[in-house]
């Protein structure tokens, strides 16, 4: 059977699964990115919007500190 040059190097074997250590690291990075995104969103809000959510600026600091501690513990 003739294979075109575009697919000649492709393999039909199952892709290699990442190790559990690599997967754990990727999940930790993902959690950190989520925490930073949330922090950025909360810091961008004005005091009135935070008040509507029942938060203050000091609560934002606490939430972000708790998130970073949780990500570091994972």
* Count of CB atoms situated within 10 Å of the CB of 60: 18
Residue 70: is its pLDDT beyond 70? no
CA angle 17, 14, 1 (to 5 degrees): 155
Reading the block at residue 1, the tokens are 């059977």
- Residue pLDDT, tens place only, 7-63: 556 666 666 666 788 888 999 889 888 888 888 898 899 999 999 999 888 888 887
13: which DSSP letter? S
- Residue pLDDT, tens place only, 48-66: 999 999 988 888 888 777 7
Q: What is the pTM assigned to this prediction?
A: 0.56
């Amino acid at each position: 059977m003739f294979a075109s040059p575009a697919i000649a190097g492709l393999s039909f074997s199952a892709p290699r699964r990442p190790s559990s250590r690599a997967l754990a690291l990727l999940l930790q990075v993902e959690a950190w990115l989520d925490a930073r995104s949330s922090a950025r969103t909360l810091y961008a809000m004005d005091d009135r919007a935070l008040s509507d959510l029942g938060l203050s600026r000091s609560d934002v600091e606490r939430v972000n500190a708790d998130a970073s501690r949780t990500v570091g513990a994972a």
